[in-house]
Structure 1
Amino acid sequence: MDVRSSHPLGQHSGSEETGNEEPEQSVQRQSIIPSRMEDVICRLKDEVGYKKSFDVVVREMTLGDTRTAFFMMNGLAKDIALTEVLKRLSYLHGENMTSDALHSFMNLYVPAVQVEPEEDWNKMMTNVLAGSTAMFIEGENRALIIDAKSFPARGPEEPSLERVVRGSRDGFVETLMVNVSLVRRRLRDPRARYEVVRVGERTQTDVCIAYIDDIADMELVESIRDKIKAVHIDGLPLADKQLEEATVRLGWSPFPLVRYSERPDVVASHLLEGNVAVFVDTTPSVMILPTTFFDLVQHVEENRQTPFIGTYLRWVRFLGILVSMFLLPLWFLYVLQPQLLPPNLSFIGPSKEGKIPLVLQFLLAEFGVDLMRMAAVHTPSPLATAMSLVSAILVGDIAVKSGLFINEVILYMAVSAIGMFATPSYELGLANRIVRLVLIVSVAIFKVPGFIVGITAILLLLCFQRSFNRPYLWPFIPFDAKALLNIIFRMPVLESKTRPNLLRPQQRDKMPTGNGRS
């Protein structure tokens, strides 16, 4: 057998042309599946820990007078399906087999839906570690990969961060195939594409790039694909968040440049708009690319109500977000310079000072809210209510009564916290909190100039942000009146006829014509 013919890329390197063939052939031999069963077993012991790791299973059998071995990972292989395969193969006799044993097993006797030959040892190993089963045949330099997987998984449940009053209650889970199926169920477009690449030298994590072929900007798809393939890292045990940092290049900016969603209906609607979705195995959240600041402040609940009610809910949410960022700094500014207040608002300001300076009260209150939030996340559910009572009533009440804090600080801090929790994007809510802290410190040091310069600096930061080469503040900067109107008002479905300019879709018109395609 020609060793070079089994190279996974089917190409010859320059070393063969110069006569230096030994190193190249040595590398190629390492990826060839041995034809002798003893060599296969020996290699499995060396590389994957067969007979050391309890979950590595090798089932050796003689089928049709041919020696075979099934290699799988216990817990990832679907034992019911494999038992049926073995049951069917156990009836084989020697006279049933042809001279090409692998061809016979693959095309005639292995009763599985997805079976394909594999000649590269490393690819075979990756498939088995991903849940497939490899069937080795004595005398063959290839193995059959049987796709019979069974992953430990929970059922689809409503996401805790994206709850709706009316609407579907299913959400993504930690299994990639289930997540793709949930979107396929809602988006039965034959032009929907789901490309899988593997990222991570050791984890070999499956990453799926989803888009609609005749809607999405193919330059955007190519850019996302290239960035993901260019990631060289040991692995992605933390899944999508690590992939985001490796591809988006956030740096030290607190603002998220990726929108996460755990709802299949949200992902399907964004695919129809022309966005690209990135699924990462082992995580229940999906990245939607590109995104803008105004994408992150919208919620699916607005589209589950009538346009009037949806618009009202959107305005209330916008007001809450603005309050969460600017209420405390503005109140603090008026306390420091009461002459700025108009006469009819002269009541604003504390009637008495606390024992701690106001700026320190603000910072301690901010850190206290963050501490309570983290404690709530790590507290078991039966104790969460008791923890909230202790934090909110005892700590807050005693702090005011002892004179350390004043009532107004606690009041405005609570209102700002509610506005932060009303932000649909958890990541954006945390970033807005940083904005509030920066403005409080700027006001404490520089007063009015600090407030103005702080807002200007944050606005400039947002202006220079880009998500996959798309402006982050679109449609405000650059200004797009029609798109901005669609953000301020929740338009009726039939009046929203075009896709956003930002995404540069191949088809601008949403309304099908004639045969169903524009």
Structure 2
Amino acid sequence: MKRRSSNIEKLMKNIKRKNTQRQQQKVSNMEWQPFSTDINENEKALKQHLGTSEDVVFNKFTIYLQNGDALNAMLVTIDGLVDVEAKRNNILKPLIEHPLQGKPNDDLKQLRERISVKESTVEDNLLKAVYQVLKAQALLILDGFNKGLLISIEGFEVRSIEEPVTEQAVRGAREGFIESTGVNISLLRRRISHPSLRFETMEIGKYSQTGVTIAYIKDIVDSELVQRVKQRLDEIIVDSIDSSGDIEQLIEDHPYSIFPTIGNTERADKAAALLMEGRVFLLVDGSPVSLYVPSLFLESFQNVEDYNSRPYYSSFIRLMRFFAFIISISLPALYITALNFNKALIPSDMIVPLIQARETVPFPLAMEVIMMILMFEVVREAGVRLPKQIGSALSIVGALILGDVSVSAGLVGAPTIVIVSISYISAFVITPIADVTALLRIGLFAASSLFGSYGLCIASLALLTHMVSLTSLGVPFMAPFSPTHFQDWKDGFIRLPTKLLKQRPKSIPNQRSTRMRSL
């Protein structure tokens, strides 16, 4: 009873601490500082918050009225974030060259009608206005008014829309997400032209103020899933968000698992297709990689090319991906199990060549294999990180050194080179979980090196048990296999013709199960 009561007390303390942190975060987010009616006081306060950086521009000018009166005004912008031509032609020029009919009202309606911009809002919180200026807004302040006018004239450079390098397709769209959330939203709008497509934006990070946009289709997505995503994002209390990877690791159900339970993609067509299944997407400002939940293990073996090609060859390739995954993680383990523990597994015709290949090798078999695994990882990492021209040359030289030269020198046996090479080549077929296969390969090899086939079986059973226990924001990670949804097997190990895929996957919670009625 004492242990149970102590556990309850710890749980209550954790809940209380989290509630306190949320309240402190809400208080900090509601900081408020009013504008002054004196334009000089406002300028002083803005310089106190923004500093004297060279990119902070204060344009002071005078607005004349038709009765001869004049108003001192100031436009605050960040150089490099706003469109200079829009600032000059759409704001400053109309206000300076043409007198106003009368003094503006409290809502600054006369000014908003005079300037030509896509959006402008009145703001009475100076601190909030400062944050909006840092997000490419322009702030217009008038002498005698305790309000400011926030004007949208964003004009920073963005990368052109290109096909993602890591998700290329032979037959399919060539559009990929970029670092601008506005452009990414427009790509989704072009593919899903329905009012049920919703976008909700929130800012995360006390200093970075990174915009995170939640995208979903209201008529299809499960409302509980959307609330769960919002709750996870609300619980994030950090100084800055540097990339979508930070969000992924902060909201996932199992942060200590080697399996990613939050999906990611750079393809706009894939994102639109997943939204139509009832997924929730997270578009992180400044990152071309979007996140989506729930994400299933099965999706690592699916490719956008599968749905652009005929189902027969796509099904064959998908089966090959499953086979490649098993070969990639287990082949080195099976190799050392057969040679060191269960020689009866080796065909009689292969025993003599294997023994002869091992005669000149000075290292034990386990050390030989693990050295080759690690060296292949070094060459792969070096090829990825180096510049493209040097990386390709390094891959060729590294393969020669690890292959022909090492065998000729008698440092490594030829069968070991073949086994490890096949294992790594198989991993290239399933790039979404290539990092997972590398860790699983080493883990299963270690278990087999110590305990043989018994260790391999126990490690495989433990791996399968762990995978079944995983969830992606409450949705079972191994669905539709565990729990079993036979209907979803139509698009599981194989892909049946599109006419037979009339229902949305039961593995993904949704409100609209039928997606095809005409056939």
Q: 2: CA distance between counterparts of 1:46 and 1:512?
A: 62
* TM-superposed deviation, 1:291: 0.7
Cα distance in 1 for partners of 2:109, 2:89 equals: 20
1:57 aligns with 2:63: no
1:361 lines up with 2:371 in the alignment? no
- Secondary structure, in 3 states, of the residue corresponding to 1:135? strand
Query: What is the root-mean-square deviation of aligned Cα atoms in Å?
Result: 2.0
- Measured after TM superposition, the shift of residue 187 of structure 1 is 1.2
Q: CA deviation at 1:431?
A: 1.0
Match of 1:217 in 2: 222
- State how far apart, in whole Å, the 1-side matches of 2:104 and 2:135 are: 31
Per the alignment, residue 512 of structure 2 pairs with 507
User: What is the CA-CA distance between 1:34 and the residue it aligns to?
Assistant: 2.2
Q: Which residue of 2 aligns with 1:233?
A: 238
Aligned to 2:383: 376
Whole-angstrom CA distance in 2 between matches of 1:28 and 1:272? 36
Task: Normalising by structure 2, report the TM-score.
Answer: 0.89
3-state secondary structure, aligned to 2:173: coil
> Shift in Å at residue 350 of structure 1?
5.0
**TM superposition shift of 1:298:** 1.1
The answer to which of 451-460 and 416-425 deviates more is: 416-425
CA contact (8 A) 1:183 1:268 kept: yes
Contact 1:102 1:140 in 2 (8 A): no
Determine the C-alpha separation between the residues in 1 that align with 2:437 and 2:445. 12
Q: Secondary structure at the match of 2:108?
A: helix
TM-score where L is the length of structure 1: 0.89
Structure 2 residue aligned with 1:422: 429
Change beyond 3 A, Cα 1:487–1:28: closer
Partner in structure 1 of residue 7 of structure 2: none
What is the CA distance between 1:87 and its match in structure 2?
1.5
State the alpha-carbon separation in 2 of the partners of residues 89 and 314 from structure 1.
63
Matches within 5 A, 1:297-312: 297-312=301-316
Partner of 1:292: 296
Closer, same or farther in 2 for the Cα pair 1:66/1:225, shift >3 Å? same
Structure 1 segments of 4+ aligned residues over 6 angstroms from their partners: none
Instruction: Indicate the residue corresponding to 1:335 in structure 2.
Output: 339
Distance 1:271 1:229 in 2: 22
The Cα offsets for residues 182-209 of structure 1, whole Å up to 9 and x where unpaired, read as 1111111210001100000000000000
Q: Match for 1:160: what amino acid?
A: V
1:437 and 2:442 aligned:
yes
Secondary structure of 1:273's counterpart equals coil
Q: Distance in 2 between matches of 1:101 and 1:267?
A: 41
Letter matched to residue 434 of structure 1: L
CA distance in 2, matches of 1:291, 1:109: 49
Say whether the 8 Å CA contact 2:338–2:346 is kept in structure 1.
no
Report the alpha carbon displacement of residue 305 of structure 1 after superposing the two structures with TM: 0.8
Q: Which deviates more, 468-477 or 97-106?
A: 97-106
Shift of residue 491 of structure 1? 2.2
Does structure 1 residue 105 correspond to structure 2 residue 107? no
- Once the two structures are TM-superposed, the CA of residue 101 in structure 1 deviates from its matched residue by 7.2
Equivalent in the alignment of 2:249: 245
Q: 1:40 corresponds to which residue? A: 42
The answer to whether the 8 A contact 1:258-1:291 is kept is yes
Structure 1 position 148 matched with structure 2 position 150: no
1:479 to 484, 489, 514: 484
Which has the higher mean CA deviation after the structures are superposed, 186-195 or 481-490?
481-490
1:135 aligns with 2:137: no
C-alpha displacement of 1:251: 3.0
Q: Does structure 2 conserve the Cα–Cα contact (< 8 Å) formed by 1:334 and 1:349?
A: no
Query: Hey, what's the Cα distance between the residues in 2 that align with 1:98 and 1:480?
Result: 65
User: Residue 406 in 1 paired to residue 408 in 2?
Assistant: no
Residue 33 of structure 2: aligned partner: 31
In structure 2, C-alpha distance between the alignment counterparts of 1:358 and 1:462, rounded to whole Å: 30
Identity over aligned pairs, percent: 27
Q: Structure 1: which 5+ runs fail to align?
A: 1-26, 514-518
Change (3 A) 1:350 1:464: farther
CA distance in 2, matches of 1:99, 1:459: 68
Answering whether residue 183 of structure 2 is matched by residue 174 of structure 1, we say no
Q: CA deviation at 1:378?
A: 2.1
- Tell me if structure 1 keeps the 8 A contact 2:357–2:415: no
Q: Structure 1 residue 306: deviation in Å?
A: 0.6
Q: Closer, same or farther in 2 for the Cα pair 1:339/1:370, shift >3 Å?
A: closer
Question: What is the rounded CA distance, in whole Å, between the counterparts of 1:345 and 1:176 in structure 2?
Answer: 61
Given the superposition, is the C-alpha separation of residues 399 and 300 from structure 1 closer, same or farther in structure 2, using an over 3 Å criterion?
same
2:262 equivalent in structure 1: 258
Equivalent residue, structure 1, for 2:25: none
Q: Name which of 70, 74, 77 aligns with 2:79.
A: 74
Deviation for aligned residue 1:472: 1.0
1:286 offset after TM fit, Å? Answer: 0.7
Partner in structure 2 of residue 93 of structure 1: 99
Match of 1:23 in 2: none
| In structure 1, distance between residues paired with 2:354 and 2:134 | 64
Amino acid at match of 1:171: G
Q: Are 1:276 and 1:290, in contact at CA under 8 Å, matched by a contact in 2?
A: yes
* Equivalent-residue separation in structure 1 for 2:200 and 2:100 (angstroms): 41
What residue identity is the alignment partner of 2:201? V
Query: Does the aligned pair in 2 maintain the 1:34–1:40 contact within 8 Å?
Result: yes
Question: 1:250 offset after TM fit, Å?
Answer: 3.4
**Any conservation in 2 of the 1:400–1:407 contact (CA below 8 Å)?**
yes
CA distance in 1, matches of 2:104, 2:335: 86
User: CA, structure 1 residues 99+439, in 2 after alignment: closer, same or farther (shift >3 Å)?
Assistant: closer
Aligned-partner SS, 1:68: strand
Q: Any idea what SS the aligned residue of 1:260 has?
A: strand
Relative distance call for 1:451 and 1:31 in structure 2 (3 A) is same
> CA 1:336/1:115 → structure 2, altered by over 3 Å: closer, same or farther?
same
Q: Secondary structure at the match of 1:497?
A: coil
Q: Deviations over 1:2-58 (max 9, x none)?
A: xxxxxxxxxxxxxxxxxxxxxxxxx99952122211111111221111xx2111111
**Match in the other structure for 1:280:** 284
Q: Distance in 1 between matches of 2:141 and 2:251?
A: 38
Per-residue CA deviations over 1:443-475 (Å, capped at 9, x if unaligned) read 110112101110011111111111101111111
Instruction: Tell me the equivalent position of 2:166.
Output: 161
Q: Secondary structure at the match of 2:492?
A: helix
For 2:298, the aligned partner's letter is F
Supply the AA of the counterpart residue of 1:104. Answer: Q
Other structure's SS at 1:370 match: helix
Q: What is the SS of the residue equivalent to 1:487?
A: coil
Letter of the structure 2 residue corresponding to residue 414 of structure 1: S
CA deviations on 1:324-364 (whole Å, 9 max, x unpaired) are: 11122112211113444175775594533221112112221
